[in-house]
């Protein structure tokens, strides 16, 4: 494997040159292009090879002509991909490889084995076991050539700087304009771990040592030093720098800043990925145990790392966050354990400084946030954090629901092939799914924000009923709720000590009764035959009495110790004032623990229901979850009975719950309001259902205003980006042709067509949005802060002869047809007219890189 890789690596430059020439010749016919030998070609040798195409497989003559540097480059000149470096006898057509590449990206479950068997079926032959290995070699070579072509294009366009892709990953987030409004949080991202894309580590059979212990056998992984090109991945070595081993030296001279607002919120018991001792463990059969990506709020992949032989360790989040700080600067990140992650960032000697410099916000997504306790929500939930708007920060879950399809073809792949499949999928998704739906996402978010703003009248009516004078009152209500929840976070030590005598007194009493039960006189029966039996009985009773006295002395010692620690001047007696006060506190503790148990079961039930109905969940897993839910439902019913018993024992009794109220509970955080604190809040306006509904509506309206502000900025950026990108690529394409670099010019043309295929779709959606009542944005292009698209690229190239006269140069910018989107009105003539006018305005306002032809 490695020898073949090294040989092909030396031939890649010549193969890329041949591929560029082939692309120029096939630009009109596309995949239907058939190679024709030039009339002036001088044939040195003719061979015969088996050509495997999509629909046929036949032996074809293979002429080697003067000018072919390698046999492999000669194959590519004819549209074939060799399967060996020196003397290939089998070649696979480029169009067959392209069909598989695109089909695999659209359906990642389609593997090489299934595709080659499909080819055999189409060719009418029995499955050929060796064809899969040959196809894999040709596909790797095809990917390597495409990556090298992409690199040459980036160099020609001046886009080969460090992290250029990351800095331009999302036009809505990162294409900044002059004189635009400043956002509280400049960039919103989301991160999470996913274990579906794990990979088996191939080993020989276990070896048994002399002591009987078993160890893994030698690795069966073939040597392969290839690295996936691009900057999607952060290397393992960089990630390991943020692990515990690299932290010890840094922690010697570091003192974490004390922050009173970052107290323990109690969420650790609900989330397994908050526990390092849990996430450090992983199945030994896996090498990579999953991925940990970072996405922007629109779904573009920013960066990704592999989780290696572990669960969701903190170092993966640290590596991603630090990389985003260095490249993109200020941002806020949503994470299902954002509350705990924020504390860990502040306690890190390096990341704490970067987080402070970049105004980092660690947030909890809106879905996972309802699994956190209410106190954590009031600090970290997106609803209550200024500048987030209506963004849920749950994009990773939707992304994983699609990317999990890669697991079928990567589980047993090599490390390189797994990363190659993941990166290619991410590239394709960013270009053809996320970018295609970008304007749709923006329009949907805008309409939702306008709908929420339309509820302002109902909020005013609610404020009148509640006698609330201004909306600032809701802010004070939230602060009051925070203060109340803070009192519930811990029991005071004095109260804990005062409850201990109440719990220990029954135990002490039982020990005294045990002693009394064995001190009664024992009268043995008369008769010599029973003497031995009486002796055994006496010894047994003496032992029981000695044990009972020891237990009594131990219980009394604990009581004496408590009397000294509280302290108690007069021993409490059952029924006394102190005794009854301790009893009330004990009943309250029992009530709160019953409520915690019930809440935990409901949280688990909610997540299991979501998983059960998730796309991609198999039948067996659905049945397994269904059985677990049946058992969980019984547990919830038992917990409700336990809770109601504890609630009725309270003075005064607390509200009881039934099954319907628990199952239909809309907000799990409302459980916290049932807790009995040292202050009675049941009549507080923010604790009543009407008051809570009005307070939630107030914060939703604030979020809607923030969302519209962000969307206006993003829509303006999108319009500006489309105009600038299209004009830039058209200009550089023309310049490259003038310079005689027809191969790269053709690739730039393909790139321009790739980006421009969605331009009319985006414009149509945004124009239609601009006609809605309440739209306050700007759909005309602005001026970007970065001038790289407005200045010609200074290329260090050698000028060659101009292209032949028969080469057709583009006169204007090619615009896709304005096809109607499925589900939209066909008779929207006014929108079409406005769109046509907008396109003219957009292109006329360009920097001279495009000309509009009269139609």
CB-based contacts of 392, cutoff 8 Å, min separation 6: 334, 365, 366, 367, 382
Q: Taking Cα atoms as reference points, which of 375, 362, 378, 411 lies closest to residue 108? A: 411
Alpha carbon distance 275, 267 (integer Å):
11
Say what the pLDDT of residue 502 is: 47
240 is written with which tokens?
């390991």
CA angle 59, 60, 66 (to 5 degrees): 145
**DSSP secondary structure of 262-290:** G---S-GGG-GGG-HHHHT---TTBSEEE
Angle between helices 2-25 and 129-156 (to 10 degrees): 60
What residue ranges do the domains of the chain occupy? 2-156, 187-253+262-435, 493-572, 579-687
Q: Taking Cα atoms as reference points, which of 464, 468, 269 lies closest to residue 376? A: 269
Higher-scoring residue by pLDDT: 320, 683: 320
Range 430-444 average pLDDT: 96
Say what the pLDDT of residue 853 is: 37
3-state class percentages of the chain: helix first, strand second, coil last, to nearest 5: 55, 10, 35
Model-level pTM? 0.78
pLDDT tens-digit profile of 283-338? 667 888 999 999 999 999 999 999 998 888 889 999 999 999 999 999 999 998 88
CA angle 797, 800, 802 (to 5 degrees): 125
Query: Is a pLDDT exceeding 50 seen at residue 33?
Result: yes
For the chain, the distance separating the N- and C-terminal CA atoms, rounded to the nearest angstrom, is 56
Q: Taking Cα atoms as reference points, which of 237, 291, 369, 335 lies closest to residue 345? A: 335
Asked whether the bond before 652 is cis by omega within 30 degrees of 0, the reply is: yes
Of the ranges 133-137, 528-532, 628-632, 696-700, which one carries the lowest mean pLDDT score? 628-632
14 is written with which tokens?
């010549």
Say what the pLDDT of residue 849 is: 39
Band (804; pLDDT cuts 50, 70, 90) = very low
DSSP 80: E
Say what the pLDDT of residue 668 is: 42
Alpha carbon distance 144, 16 (integer Å):
9
Indicate the average pLDDT of the chain.
80
Q: Helix/strand/coil (H, E, C) string of 541-584?
A: HHHHHHHHHHHHHHHHHHHHHHHHHCCCCCCCCCCCHHHHHHHH
Q: Taking Cα atoms as reference points, which of 810, 814, 812, 808 lies closest to residue 853? A: 812
pLDDT tens-digit profile of 489-505? 555 544 454 445 544 45
Asked whether the bond before 567 is cis by omega within 30 degrees of 0, the reply is: yes
In the numeric block, the tokens 């009051």 are attached to 480
Exposure of 652 in the CB half-sphere (CA atoms within 13 A): 3
Of the ranges 80-89, 203-212, 353-362, which one carries the lowest mean pLDDT score? 203-212
Alpha carbon distance 777, 624 (integer Å):
49
Alpha carbon distance 389, 812 (integer Å):
41
Higher-scoring residue by pLDDT: 830, 466: 466
Query: Is a pLDDT exceeding 60 seen at residue 673?
Result: no
Cα 48 versus chain centre, distance: 51
Say if CB 382 and CB 407 are below 8 A apart. no
DSSP 3-state of 349: coil
Alpha carbon distance 301, 426 (integer Å):
7
In the numeric block, the tokens 């920097």 are attached to 847
Say what the pLDDT of residue 815 is: 36
Alpha carbon distance 111, 106 (integer Å):
12
Helix H or strand E encompassing 464: helix 456-466
Backbone angles phi, psi at 432, to 5 degrees: -115, -10
Query: Is a pLDDT exceeding 90 seen at residue 618?
Result: no
Say if CB 723 and CB 842 are below 8 A apart. yes
Other CB atoms within 10 Å distance of the CB of residue 460:
11
Say if CB 646 and CB 587 are below 8 A apart. yes
Query: Is a pLDDT exceeding 90 seen at residue 767?
Result: yes
Say if CB 692 and CB 374 are below 8 A apart. no
DSSP 3-state of 636: helix
Say if CB 585 and CB 495 are below 8 A apart. yes
DSSP 818: -
Say what the pLDDT of residue 644 is: 87
CB-based contacts of 72, cutoff 8 Å, min separation 6: 8, 11, 14, 15, 82, 85, 88
Cα 634 versus chain centre, distance: 33
Higher-scoring residue by pLDDT: 541, 32: 32
Q: Taking Cα atoms as reference points, which of 306, 279, 288 lies closest to residue 198? A: 288
Say what the pLDDT of residue 257 is: 56
Alpha carbon distance 438, 300 (integer Å):
10
CB-based contacts of 836, cutoff 8 Å, min separation 6: 818
Say what the pLDDT of residue 810 is: 34
Alpha carbon distance 368, 381 (integer Å):
9
402 is written with which tokens?
């699609």
Helices (H), 653-783: 659-663, 689-738, 742-756, 759-770
Query: Is a pLDDT exceeding 80 seen at residue 457?
Result: yes
Say what the pLDDT of residue 623 is: 60
Alpha carbon distance 93, 60 (integer Å):
12
Other CB atoms within 10 Å distance of the CB of residue 130:
10
Say what the pLDDT of residue 852 is: 36
Alpha carbon distance 459, 473 (integer Å):
13
Say what the pLDDT of residue 748 is: 96
Band (266; pLDDT cuts 50, 70, 90) = low
pLDDT tens-digit profile of 782-801? 999 999 998 888 876 543 33
Q: For the stretch 703-718, what's the b/e string if a residue is b when 16 or more beta carbons lie within 10 angstroms of its beta carbon?
A: bbebbbbbbbbbbbbb
Band (591; pLDDT cuts 50, 70, 90) = confident
């Amino acid at each position: 494997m490695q020898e073949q890789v090294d040989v092909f690596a030396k031939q890649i430059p010549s193969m890329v040159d041949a591929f560029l020439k082939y692309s120029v010749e096939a630009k009109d016919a596309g995949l239907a292009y058939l190679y024709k030998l030039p009339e002036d070609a001088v044939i040195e040798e003719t061979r015969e090879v088996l050509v495997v195409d999509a629909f046929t497989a036949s032996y074809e003559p293979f002429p080697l002509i003067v000018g072919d540097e390698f046999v492999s480059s000669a194959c590519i000149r004819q549209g074939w991909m060799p399967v060996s470096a020196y003397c290939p006898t089998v070649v696979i057509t480029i169009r067959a490889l392209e069909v598989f590449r695109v089909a695999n990206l659209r359906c990642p479950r389609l593997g090489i084995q299934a595709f080659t068997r499909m080819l055999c079926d189409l060719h009418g032959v029995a499955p050929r076991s060796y064809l899969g290995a040959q196809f894999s070699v040709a596909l790797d070579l095809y990917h390597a050539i495409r990556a090298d072509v992409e690199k040459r294009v980036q160099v020609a366009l001046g886009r080969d700087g460090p992290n250029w892709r990351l800095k331009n990953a999302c036009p809505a987030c990162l294409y900044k304009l002059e004189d635009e409004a400043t956002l509280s949080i400049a960039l919103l991202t989301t991160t999470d771990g996913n274990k579906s894309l794990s990979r088996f580590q191939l080993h020989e059979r276990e070896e048994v040592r002399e002591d009987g212990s078993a160890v893994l056998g030698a690795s069966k992984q073939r040597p392969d030093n290839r690295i996936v090109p691009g900057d999607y991945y952060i290397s393992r070595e960089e990630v390991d720098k943020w692990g515990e081993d690299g932290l010890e030296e840094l922690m010697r001279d570091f003192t974490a800043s004390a922050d009173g607002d970052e107290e323990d919120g109690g969420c650790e018991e609900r989330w397994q990925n908050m526990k390092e001792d849990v996430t450090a463990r992983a199945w030994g059969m896996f090498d990579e145990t999953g991925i940990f990506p970072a996405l922007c709020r629109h779904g573009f992949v920013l960066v990704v790392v592999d989780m290696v032989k572990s669960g969701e360790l903190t170092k993966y989040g640290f590596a991603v966050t630090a990389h985003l700080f260095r490249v993109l600067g200020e941002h806020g990140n949503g994470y299902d354990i954002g509350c705990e992650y924020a504390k860990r960032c502040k306690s890190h000697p390096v990341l704490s400084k970067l987080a402070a410099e970049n105004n980092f916000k660690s947030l909890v997504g809106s879905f996972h946030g309802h699994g956190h306790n209410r106190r954590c929500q009031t600090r970290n939930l997106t609803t209550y954090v200024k500048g987030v708007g209506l963004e849920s920060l749950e994009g990773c879950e939707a992304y994983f629901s699609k990317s999990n399809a890669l697991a079928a073809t990567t589980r047993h792949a090599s490390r390189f092939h797994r990363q190659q499949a993941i990166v290619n999928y991410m590239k394709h998704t960013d270009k053809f799914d996320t970018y295609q739906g970008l304007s749709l996402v923006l329009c949907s978010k805008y309409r939702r924000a306008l709908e929420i703003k339309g509820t302002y009248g109902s909020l005013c009516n609610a404020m009148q009923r509640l006698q609330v004078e201004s909306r600032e009152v809701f802010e004070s209500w939230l602060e009051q709720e925070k203060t109340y929840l803070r009192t519930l976070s811990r029991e005071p030590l004095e109260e804990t000590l005062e409850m201990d005598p109440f719990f220990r007194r029954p135990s002490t009493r039982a020990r005294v009764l045990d002693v009394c039960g064995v001190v009664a006189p024992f009268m043995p029966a008369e008769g010599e035959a029973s003497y031995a039996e009486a002796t055994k009985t006496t010894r047994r009773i003496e032992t029981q009495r000695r044990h009972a006295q020891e237990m009594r002395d131990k219980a009394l010692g604990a009581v004496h110790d408590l009397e000294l620690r509280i302290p108690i001047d007069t021993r409490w007696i059952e029924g006394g004032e102190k005794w009854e006060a301790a009893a009330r506190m004990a009943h309250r503790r029992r009530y709160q623990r019953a409520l915690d148990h019930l809440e935990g079961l409901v949280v688990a039930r909610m997540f299991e229901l979501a998983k059960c109905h998730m796309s991609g969940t198999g039948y067996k897993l659905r049945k397994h979850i269904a059985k677990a839910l049946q058992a969980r439902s019984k547990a919830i019913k038992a917990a409700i009975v336990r809770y109601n018993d504890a609630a009725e024992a309270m003075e005064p009794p607390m509200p009881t719950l039934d099954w319907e109220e628990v199952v239909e509970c809309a907000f799990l955080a409302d459980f916290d309001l049932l807790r009995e604190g040292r202050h009675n809040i049941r009549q507080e306006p923010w604790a009543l259902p009407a008051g809570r509904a009005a307070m939630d509506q107030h914060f939703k309206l604030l979020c809607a205003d923030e969302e519209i502000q962000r969307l206006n900025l993003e829509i303006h950026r999108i319009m500006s980006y489309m105009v600038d990108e299209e004009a830039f690529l058209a200009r550089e394409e023309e310049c490259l042709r003038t310079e005689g670099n027809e191969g790269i010019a053709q690739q730039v043309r393909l790139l321009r067509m790739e980006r421009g295929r969605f331009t009319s779709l985006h414009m149509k959606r945004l124009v239609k949005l601009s006609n809605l009542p309440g739209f306050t944005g700007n759909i005309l292009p602005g001026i970007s802060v970065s001038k790289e698209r407005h200045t010609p690229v200074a290329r260090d190239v050698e000028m060659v002869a101009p292209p032949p006269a028969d080469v057709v140069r583009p006169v204007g910018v090619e615009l896709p047809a304005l096809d109607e989107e499925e589900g939209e009105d066909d008779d929207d003539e006014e929108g079409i007219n406005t769109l046509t006018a907008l396109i003219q305005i957009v292109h006329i306002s360009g920097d001279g890189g495009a000309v509009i032809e009269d139609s």
